Structure 1
Amino acid sequence: RIDTARDILVGKVPDPKSQVEQITIALIYKFMADMDAEAEELGGRRKFFSGDYLRYGWAKLMRSGLGGHEMLNLYAEAIGKMPENPGIPVLFRNIFKNAFLPYRDPETLRSFLKVIDEFEYDHSERLGDAFEYLLSVLGSQGDAGQFRTPRHIIDLIVAIVDPKKTETILDPACGTAGFLISAYKHILRANSSPETIDSRPVSVDADRRLDSSSIPPARGDLLTPDERAQLAENLSGYDISPDMVRLSLVNMYLHGFAEPHITEYDTLTGEERWNELADVILANPPFMTPKGGIRPHRRFSVQSRRSEVLFLDYFLEHLAPDGKAGVIVPEGIHFVAHSAHVQLRRMLLEAGFLLVDITLPHGVFKPYASVKTHILLIDRRLARRSDSVLFVEIENDGFTQTDTREPITGSQISVAKDEILRYKSALMEGRNWKPLKTSPLRLYTVRKMELLNGEGSHLLGRWHDLPNRVIHRPDVPLVRMGDICDIRDGLSPNMATPPGDFALVVPAEDRKTADHWDYDGKAICIPLVSSSGHGKADIKRIHYEEGRFALATTMCAAFAKDESAVNLRYLHLFLSAACDDLLVPLMCGATNVTMASSQLLDVLVPMPERPLQDEVVENELVRGRLSDMLMAARSLSQVSTNPEIRELAEQVILELENALESVSAKLTIAHFIPKRGSFSGEPPESSTSAA
């Protein structure tokens, strides 16, 4: 029915946000009439449509015989006057504030109200779920840098923060109140007897799964009436947008909050609520900073005009002494070298705030933004007990990283939740924690002192974990690239270099040409900028180049310091094969994802003796040529109708397959990159001495 209502409106109201507002106003209008009817059935009196407002009752609006223009004028007049209705609570007056009908087509309104008439207020969670689905069409408020948080991410954050029934819970940038409602459902479930929790799997259509909560309905029957009333008082939210406040109020009301505490308030410039603290803060604040920056007051500890910096500072300043928080931040918070960013990171570590850092897939907010984000789990009590930060890297959140965000298998969300809760439990009980060996996630701890001593006190845990990502044969030594190679930056602009007689090496597969050369010799050419555009770190290919060539400024080149000890083709093969584990993690950036060439100096690579390097290179080159020949022979066999040619092709195919099998059994680069875990098995017999 929500979709039907939107389909009716779309011709006259194309903007999704305006559609949501029109449906919201109409639903509340209808629900007020339903509550009046229910009151009369129970022997009470009408309060919403009485006195001078009786003429606007839903039944009068929908009565047969009412002309189209009469209906339109009556409805438009009613929603305009509703904020003045003394019979409705302040909550509803706020919802109707500034409401108006943006079109004047009677048939559109009649069809629209017929759909709204099918909804009935019944105090159940179904209405709240339906409204949550309606809100999902908002997607993005791009002008404010706001992106609706997927419900499975909200549920994950709430689960690992684990708010309690006695704790005050605040979302200072609440949007449509998704975090508050998820926290409420979480607390109800924690305070319900097992038989009152709906144990059936939450089942929704595939196209609604991204916007549906996974928390099963629960009654909260173990809460006393006083506890339930206090819980309603404990949940509060702020938002700078009156439209978002209106939607939050409706969302909270439809989830059972008679008087939701949602306030129109500018968290970053307002001071009247500065002294209010919260036990729990849950938030996904706007990332975008308006032109000219924010102009905050002077009570922030960190002086900045960047919205993401100010919001995070606000969260830290407004937590109770033993408070906890789950907030989403752009990756820039983790590495930007500005003094405000560095001060904020040091505060997170030194003052005992940061407990867990979770890396989210780059496409979590698609199609509205491709931005690298993290969840910061803050727990002041537990963080003071630990000298380390747990880092969790989620690569699969159950949906594709494309604009369509289709459901896929292999989600790591549940595993991440369980591992983090296990980590928290170990800290609370004073036990040692180790990640489960069977976990598909990459989890590791980094000591806070190591993070503080890193360049700019950056919070990119993967940079500290890089040595553990070099999976190699134990009988082959690891060496720093900086000890065996000179790293030089590209000098020629990719798009502005005039063509000529020399190769211009660029990140793309095909080289360009240049009218000059920058370097002369054998080199491995490595991109410094992600090849996948905004938000995602990726390197499609690494080039090997010989002779005189120009190099794009978006790349760097590695030259062997001693060619008698290093076969650069071997190093090229290794880096190409291990790129995703060793080089891609060096890239960072919320939108423009890059790395510095100096970072390559500390990359560890396995370096066998030179004869073994040469053998690997020869076998890989031979295998490549054989594969090309085999493909050509198979193509010849398929396209030729000449029996003699086909017979010859089949004979060549057989011989090439045997040759390829023989070469594959010899030493290749794969033998220096065994699968994750300890190296097992012996390398194939080599014609040279063992390394």
Structure 2
Amino acid sequence: PKGGIRPHKKFTISSNRSEVLFVDYIAEHLNPNGKAGIIVPEGIIFQSGTAYKDLRKMLVENHLYAVVSLPAGVFNPYSGVKTSILLMDKEIAKTREEILFIKIDNDGYNLGAQRTAVKGGQLEEAIKLAHKFIETGEFEETPIAHLVPKVEIAKKGDFNLSGERYKEQIQILTDFPLIDFEDALDKVTYSTKIKSSDYKEEGTFPVIDQSDNFIAGFWDNPEDVFRITKPVTIFGDHTRCFKYVDFDFVLGADGVKILQPTNEFHPKFFFYLIRNIDIKNLGYSRHYKELKEKQIPHPPLSIQEEIVAEIEGYQKIIDGAKAVVANYKPKIDIDPDWEMLELGEVCDFSQGTQVDKPLQLTSPKDGYEKFLRIENYTQLSDDFRYIPTELGKNKHVSADDVVVVRYGASAGFIGRGFDGILANNLFKVAPRKNTVTNPYLYYVLSSVDYQKKFTELTAGGAMPALSFRTVKEILIPIPELGVQNKIVAQIEKEQALVNANKQLIEIFEQKIKDRIAKVWGQEKTKEEFLNMAAEPQVEYAKS
């Protein structure tokens, strides 16, 4: 502001978000006839947090006369973030009952890293519209601009500044023009492809191929690098996998197609859209011949950008939940005062039984019981076999019993949760009365420290295996039964939160699928569609 910074004790808006405080400070320090144009990230426009809503309310009521939405990539190569410009003038804001919204899809340059000039720029038209509105208050709606009454913006209480939200027109999503798949693509000059047998474990440049691994290996020769000008989608011609890549890479092996969308498509929207295409499985044949025959919907860039903003909000939630699930392991802090006893002193061991395959049925039958195999525990598989009850004498387990995998790659895995008869590559560890509870034993043996012990005990042989003798010699902490119960209660409380995160992943992955599915053929009003494209009603912190 004129005259430099004026010290103050607090901001008008209570927030710890720097972008909120930044805009708040500028708005509140404008002179009575001062003007400001502030470039802001998209979160300021539609984030649902209280501070964001309070800021927008203050701006609409006192400062704001126009919002200019810019396409993502305007500030490439420094940042590809989607931004808008807030135009402020207290005097103009007082005399206008509407706010001008301008949507620029083409600023005269492509949105790649090089930002080369293209035809059809809309900046000049936008400037003329803004000047006319400022000087006369007159305005005729155009394809890139429209007025919205302030009372309409205030109606829902969130003061959302996404101009497209307020357009009063009905749109059938199936009316988005369908275009041929290859008409959505720019031509690409391929770099050298590297055989999978030549991949390096370490190197300067990542190798992207059609395998399930996002990065398949590394390579050092810069002459073989595919240089990115804007993000691309990699399609596995044999595997039908899709990968979104926004960095320089080396092409791996055979069967990799680089799909670079034209400037008419937001690169990430294009990725989400085509990932939703159902491609018939032709085995190891090439599948691009199927993909290129498809037609895809082509919404306006402004709608594509809002869909991407919504999906990325969902994806942040998914990524956070996945981090919780991946990193959680039950850990028990051992009190040095607890007694340490060998497992064989407090538990009895019993191995499962061997049953020939001809005697194993694949469906239930009277006089038969579930025959529990390794995959039932390690994969929580409900693919059960059934054997005659008399073959399982003294080999029964209940859902509460602790079961250990004895042989194979999963040796040392701790399981529970099934009633039935154990196979011979599994064994039950049964606590003796008044020493250890089943739940406590399960969590001790499943903990990080004890899983490391099992790994050490199975190392070295041709086939990993546990011997009863070495397992019985493992020392475990034996606190009082009341303490054991408290430990179990705490772990189960933690696991309830982990399970909630697993459900969260499923819910938001489905939301992403549903969101893209709507583009392919759901009927909605334009207002409903754009409301759905607003930021999801969940706040999440930056990781």
* TM-score between both structures, scaled by the size of structure 1: 0.30
Q: Using CA pairs below 8 Å that are at least 6 residues apart, which structure has the higher relative contact order?
A: 2
TM-score, normalised with respect to structure 2: 0.37
